[in-house]
Chains A and B, each alone.
Chain A
Amino acid sequence: DAKTTQPTSMDCAEGRAANLPCNHSTISGNEYVYWYRQIHSQGPQYIIHGLKNNETNEMASLIITEDRKSSTLILPHATLRDTAVYYCIVSGNNRKLIWGLGTSLAVNP
């Protein structure tokens, strides 16, 4: 079973920030938080991952709460091409990823 909880769907206006929440209250100390996204009928794409510190890359920012029980993925300026299903996954170092149903993000013009 997936160890994360995400809203089923979200909407965002083009050009605005998209904030996608994820709850992972049972995360272990050695588990990372990973975010991937899947555009319809394509393979998933890695976005970002973190352990306990906030992370930022060219695609997004990841904010992890101090107790590590939840996190938020931030797409700072959403575009239509960001419409996808976003998956939050917690995993240790064995690199096996267990996928939940994710959040279907619709970016609207």
Chain B
Amino acid sequence: GAVVSQHPSWVICKSGTSVKIECRSLDFQATTMFWYRQFPKQSLMLMATSNEGSKATYEQGVEKDKFLINHASLTLSTLTVTSAHPEDSSFYICSAPGGSGRRGEQFFGPGTRLTVL
């Protein structure tokens, strides 16, 4: 149990286009999800906290108008990279905290590799 999926697993797009990444909790509900970005040979950087039914909370330095987050339901959060540029190429990962009985754990999606040409 406690599986988080992401779609797509990889995407290549042209500069200036927008890309949507989905994060789903498959067998549990998640009122909160987290979005991370990871550049090669670097650690995960928290971008934002996605909250079901309310606005996302962005970390300092992350442009909320560029990285649109929508927490549409208790099992789905989406991250849209708007007007993507090559410097946005990265590995994007989402996570969701475990429910009752598994507090303290976070479950991570497999990640989405974005390449912007």
A interface list, Cβ under 8 A from B: 2, 32, 34, 36, 38, 41-46, 49, 87, 95-102
User: Number of B residues contacting the other chain (C-beta, 8 Å)?
Assistant: 24
Smallest Cβ distance from A105 to chain B, in angstroms? 15
Q: How many A-B residue pairs have CB under 8 A?
A: 51
Contacts of A98 in B (CB 8 A): 46
* Distance A43 CA – B4 CA, assembled complex (angstroms): 10
Among candidates A2, A34, A41, A45, residue contacting B108 with C-beta atoms closer than 8 Å? A45
Closest to B43 in A: A99
Is B109 a contact partner of A43 (Cβ separation < 8 A)?
Answer: yes
B interface list, Cβ under 8 A from A: 4, 6, 32, 34, 36, 42-46, 49, 91, 93, 95, 97, 104-111, 113
* Distance A45 CA – B2 CA, assembled complex (angstroms): 12
Given known A-B contacts A41-B111, A42-B111, A96 and B49 have beta carbons under 8 A apart: yes
Contacts of A95 in B (CB 8 A): 32, 34, 97, 106
* Distance A43 CA – B93 CA, assembled complex (angstroms): 7
Closest to A46 in B: B105
Smallest Cβ distance from B94 to chain A, in angstroms? 8
Contacts of B91 in A (CB 8 A): 41
Is A43 a contact partner of B46 (Cβ separation < 8 A)?
Answer: no
* Distance A95 CA – B28 CA, assembled complex (angstroms): 17
Is B95 a contact partner of A49 (Cβ separation < 8 A)?
Answer: no
Among candidates A38, A46, A99, residue contacting B107 with C-beta atoms closer than 8 Å? A46
Contacts of A100 in B (CB 8 A): 43
Is A96 a contact partner of B34 (Cβ separation < 8 A)?
Answer: yes
Closest to B44 in A: A99
